[in-house]
Structure 1
């Protein structure tokens, strides 16, 4: 297991270096920068003042010089400085990574749990009304855009029923709440964003779990277990579900990056103060240092999650460790 983990970490190093190089070059080849945005907001286009700012922040240097300087900063665990926010990139990311991790983790748990449960029910009750109903719900959840689902949830639960907040991380009007009160408040605000983000992936996992279970149920060792007199529930839980989970775990690792992309949309709709919202603002502000820092940290997060998925996969199928 230790060698398996070391191999995965060593494979991640060139991936991270490639991401740094690719993102830095692509973003800096795009027209405009943070100085242009700041000048536009200030209503001034004085060329001398803008040139002075670019010289101050090193944006007047050739691209290869900026890349070399950024590489030295990364080696020193320095993600650079956000000109637009007047703060270190590392501090800005650390302030926002917590809400994003909370949103992603809850969404993953919800989507996988619901997908496995309803996919297993559809497989066990295949070609019945329950199977058709679950398939219809999964198809609708997959077909609807994430932002539209979020807006409909806001209209229904916030505007019409008034039982859930329409956005934000917590109630800013509370004065010095205790830890329990604050935690419950955050959970209250988390319901709609997490449910919105998880619905799309719930549909994928439901269909995948159903197909995987039907395939496993037709294998010889399942028929042998039934022939030995094991009950249907024991065969399903011990032999079918565990092996049917392997494609779910694989898909989970593959979709981590797209989950982050969905978080950008959800955090924007619900004004959730995470990395997605920070990325959205950084794009319009041409804050390249902040954008590259977010891309780097997001990539590392995806790699870590994929390593955890690999470990989970090896636990479900120990033969993976030897490969």
Structure 2
């Protein structure tokens, strides 16, 4: 069994590579990305007519297109970009990068060194070579320079700004920069292009909110659904079973986000029983400990109902059906024939076998515990991990998308291993090889 779980754990990095590579490729190939959005914003937006678009496009320069390309790593191939995200190859440090055009006809330009008061002198020749002139204040071993030619700039303009001619002929452009390996292998997920914050800090900042909802949801689901499913199985086809089934399936038929919208309108806006949004009130910091607990419960009551509504029905019916199957099994009838009491037959024999299928879902619930529900958090404007995922996708923030996908995938894969472990602990007949 140890060898099996060791193989499962060793497969996690390979699976993560496949997941992240696929998501990275989709981000790059899907239209309407951050590069296109930024260009559209600089050119005056869409939907203003062809003439207006062309006229507004003249305010854009070839150097601005190159700067956007470098900011969103569109100057690199998808493979190179993915390797940079992994940290397998160096990538440019955005805060240590600056570009400047050579004066017309000149082969030397002075560029201020980012983060310092020093000046770097850059030279080029007609063959396309470029270099930093050595001096005491600029270390050529730390700083690099690349040359962007007019033809290259015109080509990039034609690729990104279709239907608009270059307003002016571009000059040679020097880009002074530093690079280093700064990716997943170095423990970094990059910075959000929208919020300019480290992705890791944005994820961990929202973890307490999602963990709160996840823990409460799991406690209620396993603490209420399992006993309820057992009672429904024992009292099958009674009025209690029928009435609870109607209530459970009515809740299961309503999506959590749709129920959330109804609760916000009726219980929040019309009746004023609960707050409309947020995890805590504006005066949370001034409250006592008891007041803070009450405030959190008051704000999270409606979201918790939405979290529970679907899982509640699934877990209850899963427990009921499993227990009914085991109560009808020969080994339970044999135990009863030997004089074992019915409660003992249920709890000692049937119950343990009934929770085996439920154990397979435990690991997956671990990932749900942390990642939350993006639509529910969106409806109630709760700043948790789910809303972070929603905003990352909606705003096409690629570093943030890659970060939340990686984090969610890690939890999912670890959850699958935990599910196998739970099954092995619950069912001694299982022996992984």
Q: Same fold (TM over 0.5)?
A: yes
The Cα of 1:4 is off from its aligned counterpart by 5.2
Deviation larger for 309-318 or 133-142: 309-318
Give the Cα separation in 2 of the matches to 1:222 and 1:212: 13
Superimposed CA distance per residue, residues 173-206 of structure 1 (whole angstroms, 9 cap, x where no aligned partner): 2344455543443333222212211110111112
The question of 1:96 aligning with 2:206 is answered yes
Runs ≥4 residues deviating over 6 A = 255-262
Query: Residue 24 of structure 1: CA displacement?
Result: 0.7
User: Relative to structure 1, is the Cα distance of residues 261 and 146 closer, same or farther in structure 2, using a 3 angstrom cutoff?
Assistant: farther
The runs of 5 or more residues in structure 1 that have no matched partner are: none
Deviation at 1:47, TM superposition (A): 4.8
CA positional deviation for 1:322 = 4.2
Tell me the alpha carbon deviations over residues 243-299 of structure 1, each in whole angstroms, 9 at most, x when there is no partner: 111112224445666788870111111111112111111122111110011000011
Establish whether residue 235 from structure 1 lines up as the match of residue 250 from structure 2: no
Greater share of helix residues, 1 or 2?
Answer: 1
Q: How far apart, CA to CA, are the structure 2 residues paired with 1:315 and 1:292? A: 34
Alpha-carbon distance between aligned partners in 1 of 2:360 and 2:297, rounded to the nearest angstrom: 29
SS at match of 1:169: coil
2:305 alignment partner in structure 1 = 195
Distance 2:359 2:85 in 1: 36
Query: 1:39 Cα shift?
Result: 5.2
Taking structure 1 as reference, are residues 272 and 320 closer, same or farther at Cα in structure 2, changes over 3 Å only?
farther
- Number of matched pairs: 323
Higher strand share: 2
264-273 or 148-157, which moves further after superposition? 148-157
CA distance in 1, matches of 2:209, 2:217: 12
In 2 relative to 1, CA 25–284 (structure 1 residues): closer, same or farther, beyond 3 Å?
same
Corresponding residue for residue 322 of structure 2: 212
* Alignment check: 8 A CA contact 1:216 1:222 kept: yes
Q: How does the TM-score come out when normalised to structure 2?
A: 0.68
Structure 1, residues 14-49: CA drift from partner, whole Å, max 9, x if none?
A: 211111111111111111332443455567562532
In 1: Cα distance, 2:290 partner to 2:8 partner: 39
The answer (yes or no) to whether the contact 1:37–1:286 under 8 Å persists in 2 is no
Of structures 1 and 2, the one with the larger relative CO (CA 8 A, separation 6+) is 1
- TM-score, normalised to structure 1, is 0.89
Separation of aligned partners in 2, 1:106 and 1:50: 49
Say whether the 8 Å CA contact 2:277–2:299 is kept in structure 1: yes
Instruction: Flag structure 2 segments of 5+ consecutive residues without an equivalent.
Output: 45-56, 88-182
1:85-124 correspondence to structure 2 within 5 Å: 85-124=195-234
In the alignment, what sits opposite 1:63? 78
